[in-house]
C-alpha cells in the first residue's frame, strides 16, 4: 500500500427531475462542470472514477502540501462559479434545471491515507479502508454547503494562512469510530460580480411588429418558441433547425441554422432579459443576402393565466439605395408574423 492523497470535489444542489428537457439539460450542465473540474487540475492528480456528480482524484506517494491543495480548491471553485454565473446570464432556457443551476454548490473532501490498486479487466480500482473513509466523509456534520474538509491526521503541524477561519468537528462512522476533521468555508471566495446581457436595439432599422393574447401559460409559450425542437412542431414553414453537436444548451451567443426551402439562415440567440411578468428573447440574422442585420424580439407578457406575445422584426439593408425595397420587405414580414400567430394559436387547441 502507498501513502496517497484522496481528493473528492462533489457537486450538489440539483433535485430529481422528471421532465425530459430538464433531465437532458441537467446532464449537460453537470458534464460541463465535471470537465471544468478535471481541466482545472494543477496538482497532476489522477482520476480514479467519476461517481455521479463527484470525482475521485488520487496521487500516490508525492502528496502535495496543504497550501497547494487550498490553491487548487480555490482555483476550481472560482471557475465553477464563474461558469454558473455566466450561464445564468446567458441562458435562454427556463426549465427547472437551467433556472436552478445557479444554486449548485461545490465541496471538497481531502484525506491522506494508504491505498492500493486492484486491476479489474482494463480498469484500475482504488482499494483500502482509507478510500472507504474518504467516501464516508461526504456525509458529515459541516453546517455549510460549500467547504474544504480534511481529516485532522492527514497533515502534521499544519500552518494556515493568516485570516483563514478553521473549524473542527468529529463524526462517528461505523468501523472507524470518531473521525476528527477540520474545514474552511468557501463562501467568502465566491465572486459576487455577475455578467449582464445587453440586448441590441431597433435604432436605425425598419421595424414591423404584431401582438396577440394567447390562452396559454407564459412558461409553456416561451418554451414552445425558444426550444428549437418544439418550434418545429408548430412552425410549418421551417423544414429543419440545425444546432452544433457541442451546443446542447441554448444560451446567448449560440448559433443555429434555420432551413426554409432552399435557404439556410444563420441565426444567433442574442439573449434573454426577464423582469416580473415579462420575458424578452432576441435573435439576430446576420449578413443574409441584402440584409446587413435583421433582429427578431419575442416579448412575452403575463396577463393573468394568459400570455400576450409581441413579435418585433427590424432590419437594416446593406446599401442605402436598397431602401426602395423597404415597403415590400415590411409587407413580407407582416405576412410572416400573421402566419406565425395563426400557427401558434393551434397550440391553444391541444
In this prediction, residue 120 carries a pLDDT of 84
Strands 2-12 and 105-120: antiparallel
Sequence-distant (≥ 6) Cβ neighbours of residue 55 within 8 angstroms? 8, 9, 34, 37, 38, 47, 49
| Phi, psi dihedrals of residue 85, rounded to the nearest 5° | -65, -40
Long-range contacts from 47-51, C-beta under 8 angstroms, 24+ separation: 48/124, 48/125, 48/126, 49/125, 49/126
Cβ-in-10-Å burial (0-12, 13-18, 19+) of 145 comes to middle
Model pLDDT for residues 111-131, shown as the tens digit of each residue: 999 998 888 877 888 989 999
Same fold, 2-189 and 206-349: no
pLDDT reported for residue 316? 87
Q: Which CATH architecture has domain 2-189?
A: 2-Layer Sandwich (3.30)
**Distance of alpha carbon 58 from alpha carbon 239, whole angstroms:** 50
Q: Where are the chain's structural domains? A: 2-189, 206-349
Pick from 101-105, 252-256, 335-339: least confident: 252-256
Alpha-carbon span 340 to 253, nearest angstrom = 24
**Residue 161 — very low, low, confident or very high, per pLDDT cuts 50/70/90?**
low
Q: pLDDT confidence of 92, banded at 50, 70, 90?
A: very high
Question: What is the tens place of the pLDDT at every residue in 39-80?
Answer: 999 999 999 999 989 999 999 988 999 999 999 999 999 999
Share of the chain above pLDDT 70, in %: 96
The answer to whether the CB of 138 falls within 8 A of the CB of 25 is no
Helix (H) or strand (E) holding 261: none
Phi first, then psi, for residue 267 (nearest 5°) are: -115, 135
For residue 169, pLDDT over 60 is answered with: yes
User: Strands 206-214, 240-242: parallel, antiparallel or unpaired by DSSP?
Assistant: unpaired
| Mean pLDDT score, 240-249 | 81
Determine the average pLDDT of the residues in 231-257: 87
> Cα–Cα distance between 248 and 222 in angstroms, integer?
18
- List the beta strands (DSSP E) in 174-262: 177-185, 206-214, 240-242, 255-260
Q: Find the mean pLDDT for residues 15-27.
A: 82
pLDDT higher than threshold 70 for residue 208: yes
For residue 293, the model assigns a pLDDT of: 85
Question: What are the cell numbers at 256?
Answer: 443555429
pLDDT at 254 over 50: yes
- The model carries a pTM of 0.79
Pick the CATH number of 206-349 from 3.30.360.10, 3.50.30.30, 3.40.50.2300, 3.30.530.20: 3.30.530.20
Cβ atoms 343, 236 nearer than 8 A: yes
Amino acid at each position: 500500500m502507498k501513502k496517497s492523497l484522496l481528493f473528492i470535489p462533489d457537486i450538489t444542489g440539483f433535485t430529481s427531475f422528471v421532465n425530459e428537457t430538464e433531465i437532458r439539460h441537467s446532464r449537460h450542465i453537470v458534464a460541463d462542470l465535471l470537465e471544468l473540474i478535471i481541466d482545472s487540475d494543477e496538482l497532476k492528480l489522477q482520476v480514479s472514477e467519476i461517481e455521479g456528480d463527484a470525482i475521485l482524484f488520487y496521487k500516490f506517494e508525492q502528496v502535495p502540501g496543504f497550501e497547494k491543495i487550498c490553491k487548487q480548491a480555490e482555483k476550481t471553485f472560482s471557475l465553477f462559479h464563474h461558469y454558473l454565473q455566466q450561464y445564468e446570464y446567458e441562458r435562454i432556457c427556463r426549465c427547472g434545471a437551467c433556472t436552478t443551476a445557479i444554486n449548485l454548490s461545490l465541496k471538497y473532501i481531502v484525506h491522506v491515507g494508504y491505498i492500493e490498486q486492484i486491476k479489474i479487466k482494463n480498469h484500475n480500482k482504488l482499494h483500502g479502508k482509507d478510500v472507504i473513509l474518504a467516501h464516508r466523509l461526504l456525509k458529515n456534520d459541516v453546517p455549510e454547503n460549500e467547504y474544504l474538509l480534511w481529516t485532522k491526521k492527514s497533515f502534521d503541524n499544519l500552518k494556515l494562512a493568516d485570516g483563514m477561519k478553521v473549524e473542527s468537528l468529529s463524526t462517528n462512522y461505523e468501523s472507524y469510530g470518531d473521525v476528527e476533521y477540520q474545514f474552511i468555508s468557501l463562501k467568502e471566495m465566491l465572486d459576487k460580480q455577475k455578467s449582464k446581457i445587453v440586448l441590441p436595439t431597433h435604432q436605425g432599422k425598419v421595424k414591423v411588429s404584431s401582438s396577440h393574447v394567447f390562452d396559454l401559460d407564459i412558461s409553456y409559450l416561451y418554451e414552445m418558441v425558444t426550444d428549437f425542437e418544439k418550434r418545429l412542431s408548430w412552425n410549418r414553414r421551417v423544414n429543419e433547425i440545425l444546432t452544433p453537436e457541442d451546443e446542447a444548451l441554448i444560451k446567448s451567443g449560440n448559433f443555429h441554422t434555420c432551413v426554409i426551402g432552399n435557404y439556410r439562415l444563420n441565426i444567433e440567440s442574442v439573449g434573454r432579459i426577464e423582469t416580473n411578468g415579462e420575458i424578452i428573447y432576441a435573435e439576430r440574422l446576420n449578413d443574409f443576402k441584402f440584409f446587413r442585420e435583421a433582429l427578431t424580439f419575442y416579448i412575452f407578457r403575463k396577463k393573468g393565466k394568459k400570455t400576450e406575445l409581441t413579435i418585433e422584426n427590424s432590419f437594416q439593408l446593406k446599401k442605402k439605395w436598397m431602401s426602395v425595397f423597404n415597403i415590400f420587405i415590411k409587407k413580407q414580414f407582416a405576412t410572416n408574423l400573421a402566419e406565425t400567430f395563426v400557427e401558434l394559436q393551434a397550440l391553444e387547441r391541444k
